[in-house]
Amino acid sequence: MSHLLSRLALAAVCVPLVLGLLYLGDWWLFGLLCVAAAISLHEYWLLAREQQPLTLAGYAGGLLALLGAERGGVPWMLGGALTAFVFAFVLKAISETRTEPTASISVTVMGSVWIGCGLAFVFLLRGLPEHGRLAAYTVLLAIWAGDTLAYAGGRALGRHRMAPSTSPGKTWEGFAFGTAATVFVAFVALYKAHFLSVSESLVLGGVIAVAAPLGDLFESMLKRDAGVKDTGRLLGGHGGVLDRIDAILFAAPAAYFCILAFGPR
């Protein structure tokens, strides 16, 4: 089975589950995000193990970020994530390891903010007072459509690499295909539903089209630094959970604040 067909087979299993729990929202979605955060943080700790992250503090910060988003929105989410800083400091103070505290604490806090807050924004999108379910659906579908078309377009026509030293497989041709797919999904879903204007839906599509590949490239940079191809093997040839959600961790926050910038609906 080709890599593209394998990606489609995985999507056929996972996408209905994710979209079904996203439709239900509330604690169903919260539970899904907590599981995804816990697994992704575990994969990240393995990736950054040379810096000896303070994993208990990181798990606490990431999961409290999600709980904060569920209970009180962005302020509580940030408060929850930043508890990792306090917990990490305390754990490092009583630890007997010799790793530099700057590296150990920094990598811990980054994990809780990057993964915990990134996933929390999916919950915040779903909780928007008007058309929240539609907005969350659109962001995820736009990311997935962009990723699939970028991969297919890059394989077929890719000649010019975007970031050769970070992710040699990504090309500008693939990026163009992915951008077109992302913008199209955002336009069809949000303009046709009378949620956003033509210009707003196109802008949102463009924001997602830029933010999602940046999230992918950011994770690729970390993997290259650690000398690994994938963050895990849970999804077989597709790597780990963090490999599948890296684009969401950048695109969901960008989409959320973009929609807020458009003003009250």
| Residue-wise DSSP of the chain | --HHHHHHHHHHHHHHHHHHHHHH-HHHHHHHHHHHHHHHHHHHHHHTGGG---HHHHHHHHHHHHHHHHHHHHHHHHHHHHHHHHHHHHHHHH----S-HHHHHHHHHHHIIIIIIHHHHHHHHHT-TTTHHHHHHHHHHHHHHHHHHHHHHHHHH--SEEETTTEEEEEHHHHHHHHHHHHHHHIIIIITTTSS-HHHHHHHHHHHHHHHHHHHHHHHHHHHHHT-S-S-STTGGG--HHHHHHHHHHHHHHHHHHHHHT---
Same domain, 50 and 151: no
Residues with Cβ within 8 Å of residue 95, at least 6 apart in sequence: 54
204 in a structural domain? yes
| Same-domain pairing of 53 and 123 | yes
Provide the percentage of residues in the chain whose pLDDT is more than 70: 94
- Of 127, 156, 172, the residue at which a domain comes to its end is 127
Residue 112 corresponds to which tokens in the numbers above? 């809780």
pTM of the model: 0.92
Q: Is residue 66 part of a domain?
A: yes
110 with 177, same domain: the answer is no
The identity of residue 242, as a single letter, is L
CA–CA separation, 190 and 196 (whole Å) = 6
Q: Is 76 inside a domain boundary?
A: yes
Question: Dihedral of CA 215/125/190/18: which sign?
Answer: positive
pLDDT over threshold 80, residue 112: yes
Q: Answer yes or no: do 123 and 36 share one domain.
A: yes
Question: Are the beta carbons of 145 and 181 closer than 8 angstroms?
Answer: yes
Residues 186 and 59 in one domain: no
* Both structure tokens of 182: 């992302």
Domain that holds residue 82: 25-127
Q: Which residue has the tokens 């999904």?
A: 185
Residues 94 and 198 in one domain: no
Number of domains in the chain: 2
Tell me which of 127, 143, 166 is where a domain ends: 127
The predicted pLDDT at position 167 comes to 82
> Does any domain span residue 195?
yes
Q: Are residues 44 and 153 in the same domain?
A: no
Q: What is the mean pLDDT of the chain?
A: 90
Q: What is the mean pLDDT of residues 64-70?
A: 96
Q: Kindly state the average pLDDT of the residues 68-90.
A: 94
Is residue 96 over pLDDT 60? yes
Q: What is the per-residue burial (b if ≥16 Cβ within 10 Å, else e) of 41-78?
A: bbbbbbbbeebbbbbebbbbbbbbbbbbbbeeebebbe
What distance in Å separates the CA atoms of residue 190 and residue 122, rounded to the nearest whole number? 17
Q: Would you say residue 42 has pLDDT above 70?
A: yes
Say yes or no: 105 and 120 in one domain. Answer: yes
Decide which of 127, 144, 173 is a domain's last residue: 127
- Gap between the Cα atoms of 63 and 247, Å rounded: 19
Q: Are residues 209 and 245 in the same domain?
A: yes
Whether 265 has a pLDDT exceeding 70, the answer reads no
Q: Does one domain contain both 135 and 263?
A: yes
Specify which residues 171 forms β-bridges with: 161
15 is a domain residue: no
Contact 57, 107 (CB under 8 A): no
Q: How many CA within 13 A on the CB side of residue 12?
A: 6
Tell the burial category of 19 from Cβ atoms under 10 Å away from its Cβ (0-12, 13-18, 19+).
Answer: middle
217 and 170, same structural domain?
yes
Q: Of 1-15, 213-227, 247-261, where does the model show the most confidence?
A: 247-261
Domain shared by 163 and 259, yes or no: yes
